[in-house]
Amino acid sequence: MVVAGEGMIPAPSPRREATDPLPRYRAIIPDWKRFSDACRRPLPIVARAHTLRISPDALRRRLAERGIDAKPLSWEPLLLATDRPVGATIEHWLGLLYVQEAAQALAVIALDPQPGEAILDLCAAPGGKTTHLAARMQGLGPLVANEPSGRRQQALLSNLNRLGVLNATVTGYRGEGFPLATRFDRVLVDAPCSAEGTVRKEPSLWSGASASTIARLARLQKRLIVRAYDLLRPGGVLVYATCTLAPEENESVVAHLLDRRDARLSSPRLPIEAEPGLAGWQSETYPVEVRRCARIYPHHLDSGGGFLARFERA
């Protein structure tokens, strides 16, 4: 029996060829054929060079010595597409790289953390975005990685240790109850979500998540985004990110924050094409500024799909 692991992509099932992916969203995805075709392709293997320990060029040379071809993505040279899995290489175990979907880098790029700032990753496990934040900060400044689940904390701690991140402190608060005693320059909410954007590697999501799952997660996401905003210093930046396509977990959550707080919504600066946020969904109409959000689909960057919103606190 073969078990799919890191870097291994399950073969497309016959059902994928016969049906459309995530049919609920056909009316809101402008180029449905490109989207549908991308969902049927195997997900590329991508590794991020961990620049606290190695440059992308040096990592490419090391992998080439092992017979692994690694090419930088055109929009982000830290991300290397490889022609075979790299999770079992010594470079992985030395913390020189982190295996991830390319789309996972976009939230950190949108947040744009700077060395010396105080940063909070409110939903941090397993640590891909936390370690990317640390690298962008050049290891300078306090970085709080919060994860309430003890089991998931183990994966977070393992990755922080493997990649040699020394400026991170791990906390275990429920995100919606994170203490307000400290304020941060930037906060990332990579929210728990229905993960429909990962359909290329999760065949169980081909038809979409259940309505009850989406509704349950949206309630949590609304509590998380309000608490994250309240944790910002004046002038601070919040990025809300999901890997799902459900408007209930995306635009509706953004609209909830705009209704509860005097938050300024700005367009995230991204190195790829993206679609704007929706003006409305079903019976709900969203504030006009929600169009400044970014919807990312698999065909935009040959990766997973998701959603990004960027706020500034007055």
pLDDT in tens, 213-252: 999 999 999 999 999 999 999 999 999 999 999 999 999 9
**In the block, which residue shows the tokens 């977070």?**
156
Q: Please check whether residue 256 is in contact with residue 241, taking contact to mean a CB–CB distance below 8 angstroms.
A: no
State yes or no: is 39 an active-site residue.
no
Question: Which tens digit of pLDDT belongs to each residue from 65-84?
Answer: 999 999 999 999 999 999 99
What pLDDT band is residue 17 in, cutting at 50, 70 and 90? low
Q: Which fold has domain 28-43+103-313?
A: Rossmann fold (3.40.50)
Helix, strand, or coil here: 236? strand
Q: Please check whether residue 172 is in contact with residue 147, taking contact to mean a CB–CB distance below 8 angstroms.
A: yes
Catalytic one among 39, 123, 193, 243? Answer: 243
Q: What's the chain's average pLDDT?
A: 94
What pLDDT band is residue 4 in, cutting at 50, 70 and 90? very low
Q: Is the pLDDT of residue 2 over 80?
A: no
Q: Is the pLDDT of residue 7 over 90?
A: no
Question: Which tens digit of pLDDT belongs to each residue from 124-142?
Answer: 999 999 999 999 999 999 9
What pLDDT band is residue 314 in, cutting at 50, 70 and 90? confident
Q: Please check whether residue 229 is in contact with residue 265, taking contact to mean a CB–CB distance below 8 angstroms.
A: no
The DSSP symbol for 155 reads H
What does CATH list as the number for 44-100?
Answer: 3.30.70.1170
CATH 3.40.50.150 domain extents, the chain: 28-43+103-313
Q: Which of 44, 43, 48 is nearest to 59 (CA)?
A: 48
Q: Which of 258, 236, 257 is nearest to 314 (CA)?
A: 236
CATH 3.30.70.1170 domain extents, the chain: 44-100
Residues in Cβ contact with 63 at an 8 Å cutoff, skipping those fewer than 6 apart: 69, 70, 80, 82, 86, 89, 91
Q: What are the residues facing 47 on neighbouring strands?
A: 80, 99
Q: What are the residues facing 310 on neighbouring strands?
A: 239, 266
